[in-house]
Amino acid sequence: MENPFNYLQFATGDQFYDRREIRKDLRSRFLSGQTNVVLYGPRRYGKSSLVAELVGDLEKAGIPCVTLDIVKVPSIDMFVTAYATKVYRRLAPVKFELKKLGTFLKSLRPKVTLDQTGEAGLSFEPSDAHIGSEALTEVLDLPQKLLSGKGRAVVVFDEFQEAKDLLPNDGFERIMRSAIQSHRNVSYIFLGSRYLILRRMFTDHNRPFYKSAVTMLLDKPPVEESVRFVVERFSSAGKSIDRESAERLVAKIENIPYFVQQLGFETFRIVDDSRRKSVLPSDVDSAYANLSGFNRDQYEQLMLSLSVSQKKLLIALARERTCEFGDGYRKRHVLGVSSTVNSAKAKLMEDGLIELSGGQYVVADPFFAQFLRTT
């Protein structure tokens, strides 16, 4: 029986649940005119999945979208060629005169490439070894120019916090900010997994992107929605899980969508392997134990890369979550002075290893928390 859970790809269609309000809000913002949005939130809450669904909604409504994941273009020339290629392929009108391209993109050379199916398409390469600010501006202006004042398009930059490393001294951000400011027909959505770094790019008044986008937070879905999703997924594959076990499943992994899918997947696998139709309460526990075991190596490696004060803080938080690190808490967990704790906390937050959940600091990955509790 095919497993109805999937934690490896972005959730779409039947595998996507909740997010109705924010999805509707985003859709109507992008349909009603030019707007820029930065979507942030802790890791694995489902930002990329939500935006992939939104892109589907917008495309259906006739708004072409271009998505670029900045992690996949780690240098400025890779960014420029990949972005020009994607923008051209999605936004160039059907009868576009190629010679016009020369006026839009002086620093790139088009070339014809064949994809795996043998279909020909246009892509770009730098015509000069050096990609400077002019070339970058030209490429960033390409969507607006291709639309030539008509219609609208949406551009999605995922893992946008990585853009700060493409040019030194905020260079990329400065050039991009000034280019996109004049784009009347193109809206932008920025998202990324290192959300404190991303948020700083938009809220720090010294940074070029300060106040250039509406900031939206993606929180966890309501517990009830996650529970309903688990019940529905099992039943879609001809198996049943009682409400209590579904609630237990969701609670064990702190109601984080990625882990809902992962623990759902493993629980389903166990039930299916033993050729049963319904889930026993112990299946959820066995699945949880399996998953805790799978990641052991990775967690051990991770611990080796951390400082002593970071490790101590992680272990403390795995045992006792807290909203502040007062004297009592620091003494109980032998954490030392508050300046040490604060700098360890800042680094762990930045790296996404701890998060604020319901106003309390917690270890972000519930399996890592379990690992920390048992060593």
**Residue 81 binding: pick among Mg ion, ligand ATP, none (C-beta 5-8 Å cut-off by kind):** none
SS (H, E, C) 255-318: CCHHHHHHHHHHHHHHHHHCCCCECCHHHHHHHHHHHHHHCHHHHHHHHHCCCHHHHHHHHHHH
**Residue 185 binding: pick among Mg ion, ligand ATP, none (C-beta 5-8 Å cut-off by kind):** none
Cβ 197 to ligand ATP shortest distance, Å: 12
Number of residue whose CB is nearest ligand ATP: 46
Q: Is 48 in the site for Mg ion (CB under 5 A)?
A: yes
Residue 333 DSSP class: T
Among 43-51, 213-221, 245-253, 276-284, the segment contacting Mg ion (CB under 5 A): 43-51
Question: What's the token pair of residue 46?
Answer: 């489902």
The answer to whether residues 273 and 241 touch, using CB atoms and an 8 Å cutoff, is: no
- For the stretch 250-272, what's the b/e string if a residue is b when 16 or more beta carbons lie within 10 angstroms of its beta carbon? bebbbbbbbbbbbbbbbbbbbbb
Q: Are strands 360-363 and 354-357 parallel, antiparallel or unpaired?
A: antiparallel
The residue among 23 and 109 lying less far from ligand ATP, judged by its C-beta, is 23
Cβ 7 to Mg ion shortest distance, Å: 13
The residue among 69 and 272 lying less far from Mg ion, judged by its C-beta, is 69
**Residue 233 binding: pick among ligand ATP, Mg ion, none (C-beta 5-8 Å cut-off by kind):** none
- For the stretch 6-38, what's the b/e string if a residue is b when 16 or more beta carbons lie within 10 angstroms of its beta carbon? bbeeebeeebbbbbeebbeebbebbbeeeebbb
The residue among 48 and 310 lying less far from ligand ATP, judged by its C-beta, is 48
**Residue 141 binding: pick among Mg ion, ligand ATP, none (C-beta 5-8 Å cut-off by kind):** none
Q: Are strands 108-114 and 354-357 parallel, antiparallel or unpaired?
A: unpaired
Cβ atoms within 10 Å, residue 337: 9
Number of residue whose CB is nearest Mg ion: 48
Cβ 193 to Mg ion shortest distance, Å: 5
Residues that bind ligand ATP (CB under 6 A): 6-7, 9-11, 15-19, 43-49, 193, 257-258, 261
Cβ 329 to Mg ion shortest distance, Å: 32
Cβ 350 to ligand ATP shortest distance, Å: 13
Among 20-28, 42-50, 236-244, 308-316, the segment contacting Mg ion (CB under 5 A): 42-50
What is the binding site for Mg ion (CB under 5 A)? Answer: 48
